[in-house]
Chain A
Amino acid sequence: MLITSIGQGLLWAPLAIGVFITFRILDIPDLTTEGSFPLGAAVTVSAMLSGQSAVTASLLGFLAGCIAGWVTGVLDTKLHMPSLLAGILTMTGLYSVNMHIMGKSNVPLLSQKVLTNYLPQSWSIDLQTIMVGAIVTGVVVAFLIWLFKTRLGLSLMATGNNPAMSAANGIYTDRMVIIGYMVSNGCIALSGALISQSNGYADIGMGIGTIVIGLASVLVGEIFLRGRQIWLRLSAMVLGAIIYRFLLTVAMGLGFPVDDLKILSAGILVVVICLPILQNKYRTRQQLNRYLKQIGADEHEASNRSLNRQASPEGLLSRDSK
């Protein structure tokens, strides 16, 4: 069960990384995800059915996601739409685009060679999935580590953190936001491409709930791995995607029907948002108690209680102060 979760988690990891780029680096909640994920699947499966190799098809899926991201980026920056609305518009439009690409709502792969077929056939399915997931996710992570060490990457981070200051320092923030959307949705579509190959089909409905899955993976990952270095933050995303898959597998093992998985996903997201808030509250209280014990003051208990009430916990979703 754990092995399967690792394999599936690695296939979902590019989704978590994509959501991380818009949500954490650019500080934008991007709903394009729900459309670019099935777009990646649709393009990949259609390309494979028309004779392209799995590698080419997956790359085409990635590029299609970049285009979707570009559209949202232009709506957001050039047409000055609120980013939530820009994402919703692209996502809605993509439904029709995906239908046109696939021709019908569910397209199965026939005998096409998927990425796992390039590996020795003697390996088990799980091992093949892990290898493919590890290679693709590894390439994505390596690319992003390199990107965020360049001046362009620094400009991206600055734009997400303080757009006014970035513009004042000569950064064309519109361009940066568009690039961020493109890389993000490219990764998300790539995840869609991997999942469709693993499932053996592309489905028009496979994007539903992906933003929740992505956000939950981001938050779960950050609970377990915290740090400022970009490699650590990206590793946290991969770990988050794997743990999230594991949680879902456990839930299914407990007998939850497949139809209930969406509400379960939403539930997990609520829990992982609340958990850090409680964690912080607990830590603040512990620190305070330790401090009070240090200065040896039982008589301060009254003030202790009032202080606890004042300490306002900070959740993962709350924006850090600039």
Chain B
Amino acid sequence: MIGNNGAGKSTLLNTIAGTLAADAGTLALAGHDVTKKPIAYRSKWLSRVFQDPKMGTAGELSVAQNLTLAQRHTGSMSLHRYRKASQVAAYQELLRPLNMGLEDRLTTQVKYLSGGQRQALSLLMATLSHPDLLLLDEHTAALDPQTSQKVMDLTQTIVEENQLTTMMITHKMSDALTYGNRLVMVQDGQIKLDVRGEEKQNLRQEDLLTLFAE
């Protein structure tokens, strides 16, 4: 999803995630009406990666603890011990494909990680529960170009491997054109362009720029 600043992209995303309440209409996730449900309830079906790498992880907690929070095998109110020796190997297996050396830093507090590492971890955490909908809120905007590309590639791999329905907001038109199979352009709170499949593949950056200028 692309659009000018103030077009309403983030508003839409926040309404879906539950951060903002809907003024009118209904919102259904996987067939469940969640219009008036809190964020935590919606998390059964959706996950989100924030723009700010600090938002998606708990900095004071370790990498392993963050992964435990994301796994959700047990409810958040459960009185079972969360740390088990058998999990260490499983977590290392999960972290290794990220190629960021995180598998050796399970007990490190997340606040000591770099922005790229934190965002990669956020992405992994958001996809661990195989959500029906993954929301990406300009999740590479705060990273340097190289790291940004790395996280984008990682996103592509994870999304394709797990066949996740994903909605990504971006300001980078090249990313909007390269990734995904549908492109929505928002302006003044309205959908101005909605293309998919072959039509999207034929779309070029110049076409978008002319649309933006209108």
Map CB proximity to B onto A116-153 as digits: 1 under 8 Å, 0 otherwise. Answer: 00000000000000000000000000000000011110
Size category, A interface = 20 to 34
- Interface membership of B104, Cβ < 8 A: no
**B56→A165 contact, CB < 8 A:** yes
User: A83: which B residues are within 8 A, CB to CB?
Assistant: none
A149 to chain B, nearest CB (A): 5
**B81→A169 contact, CB < 8 A:** no
- Interface membership of A80, Cβ < 8 A: no
Map CB proximity to A onto B62-80 as digits: 1 under 8 Å, 0 otherwise. Answer: 0001001110101111111
- How far apart are the CA atoms of A228 and B112 in the complex, in Å? 14
Question: Which A residues from 13 to 69 make CB contacts under 8 A with B?
Answer: none
A199 to chain B, nearest CB (A): 36
- Interface membership of B43, Cβ < 8 A: yes
User: B81: which A residues are within 8 A, CB to CB?
Assistant: 149-151
User: B48: which A residues are within 8 A, CB to CB?
Assistant: 168
- Interface membership of A281, Cβ < 8 A: no
Map CB proximity to A onto B29-66 as digits: 1 under 8 Å, 0 otherwise. Answer: 00000000011100110011010001111111100010
Question: Which A residues from 158 to 213 make CB contacts under 8 A with B?
Answer: 158, 161-162, 164-173, 175-176
User: B60: which A residues are within 8 A, CB to CB?
Assistant: 157, 161, 320, 322
Q: By DSSP majority rule, is chain B's interface helix, strand, loop, or mixed? A: loop
**B38→A167 contact, CB < 8 A:** yes
**A322 with B111: in contact, given A151-B75, A151-B80, A155-B76 (CB under 8 Å)?**
yes
**A158 with B58: in contact, given A150-B82, A166-B69, A171-B69 (CB under 8 Å)?**
yes
- Interface membership of B2, Cβ < 8 A: no
A228 to chain B, nearest CB (A): 7
A171: nearest residue on chain B (CB-CB)?
Answer: B76
- Interface membership of A81, Cβ < 8 A: no
Map CB proximity to B onto A83-99 as digits: 1 under 8 Å, 0 otherwise. Answer: 00000000000000000
Q: By DSSP majority rule, is chain A's interface helix, strand, loop, or mixed? A: helix
A167: nearest residue on chain B (CB-CB)?
Answer: B39
**B59→A321 contact, CB < 8 A:** yes
- How far apart are the CA atoms of A150 and B109 in the complex, in Å? 19
User: A165: which B residues are within 8 A, CB to CB?
Assistant: 55-58, 69
**B69→A169 contact, CB < 8 A:** yes
- Interface membership of B102, Cβ < 8 A: no
**B72→A169 contact, CB < 8 A:** yes
- Interface membership of A311, Cβ < 8 A: no
- Interface membership of A154, Cβ < 8 A: yes
User: A166: which B residues are within 8 A, CB to CB?
Assistant: 58, 69
B170 to chain A, nearest CB (A): 20
**A157→B61 contact, CB < 8 A:** yes
Of A151, A158, A161, A173, which one neighbours B79 at CB under 8 angstroms?
A: A151
- How far apart are the CA atoms of A320 and B54 in the complex, in Å? 12
User: A152: which B residues are within 8 A, CB to CB?
Assistant: 76-79
User: B109: which A residues are within 8 A, CB to CB?
Assistant: 228
- Interface membership of B168, Cβ < 8 A: no
- How far apart are the CA atoms of A320 and B56 in the complex, in Å? 16
- How far apart are the CA atoms of A322 and B44 in the complex, in Å? 25
User: A321: which B residues are within 8 A, CB to CB?
Assistant: 54, 59, 111
A168: nearest residue on chain B (CB-CB)?
Answer: B48
- Interface membership of B95, Cβ < 8 A: no
User: B125: which A residues are within 8 A, CB to CB?
Assistant: 169
Q: Which 8 A-B pairs have the closest CB atoms?
A: A170-B43, A151-B78, A167-B39, A155-B76, A322-B59, A171-B76, A161-B58, A161-B60
Task: Show the binding face of A for B, using Cβ within 8 Å.
Answer: 149-152, 154-155, 157-158, 161-162, 164-173, 175-176, 228, 320-322
| 18 CB < 8 A contacts A-B | A149-B83, A151-B75, A151-B79, A151-B82, A152-B78, A157-B58, A158-B65, A165-B55, A166-B58, A167-B39, A167-B43, A169-B69, A170-B43, A170-B44, A171-B40, A172-B38, A175-B77, A176-B76
